[in-house]
Amino acid sequence: MTLFLAICLGIGLALGVGLRPFLPALLVGALARGDLGIDFEGTDLSFLEAPIFLLALLIGVVVLVVAERRVGADRVEAGPLGAAVGGIALGLGALFFAGALANDGYTWWPGIVGGLACAALAAATARIFFRRTRARLDRDAAVALPVYAEGAGVAVAGLAVLFPPLSLIALAFLAWLLLGQRRREGQKYAGLRVLR
């Protein structure tokens, strides 16, 4: 695999776990464990496919789902658990981008920086997008939003493993979506200042 494809793979993995950390990471770890499109074995990051790591990710999925069911996704996101999940998403994004580079024998540490950036972009986009969407939906419909976030994360990570250049489309789309959301928020606040 060329460096370009390894970078594309890293971008897609980091974006996927940035959207929602545990289930996309579990998918990638399981694929790596079965040597299906990616393999961390023999690298410094081989723990990404270790059974204990995959079990920890599964526990993370369960804890997050239970917390969102009990107190609501918006309260989880705004509280300390949301901050912890965001930090985990950044860390996993960095590790998986680095793992994508190490997978092909490239120096892995630049992937830490790229993974942090990509996961941060995806997490910020998801937070703003789903918060705004949740505000427009009734309570019953808003309960399904975490499922869509999980699905988006799994799709981005899975497609990155299947065809890495698709990650560039996901990156461009998330950047465009984030800029659009921020522009709308800026216009809303500009209108409020005029009213003073």
**Structure pTM?**
0.91
Rounded Cα distance between 107 and 149, Å, is: 31
Neighbours of 141 (CB within 10 A): 11
Q: Is 16 exposed, middle or buried (0-12, 13-18, 19+ CB in 10 A)?
A: buried
What pLDDT shows up at residue 1?
60
CB of 50 closer than 8 Å to CB of 128: no
CB of 170 closer than 8 Å to CB of 12: yes
Neighbours of 130 (CB within 10 A): 21
In the chain, where the domains are located: 3-195
- Tokens read off for 123: 């997490």
At 92, which amino acid appears? L
Q: What residue spans of the chain are helical by DSSP H?
A: 3-19, 22-33, 51-71, 73-78, 80-103, 110-136, 139-142, 145-162, 166-195
Q: Is 167 exposed, middle or buried (0-12, 13-18, 19+ CB in 10 A)?
A: buried
- Tokens read off for 31: 């694929």
CB of 31 closer than 8 Å to CB of 38: yes
Q: Which of 91, 81, 80, 123 is nearest to 25 (CA)?
A: 91
CB of 86 closer than 8 Å to CB of 139: no
Q: What does the pLDDT profile of the chain (196 residues) look like in tens digits?
A: 699 999 999 999 999 999 999 999 999 999 999 999 999 999 999 999 999 999 999 999 999 999 998 988 888 888 899 999 999 999 999 999 999 999 989 999 999 999 999 999 999 999 999 888 888 888 778 888 889 999 999 999 999 999 999 999 999 999 999 999 888 777 665 555 555 5
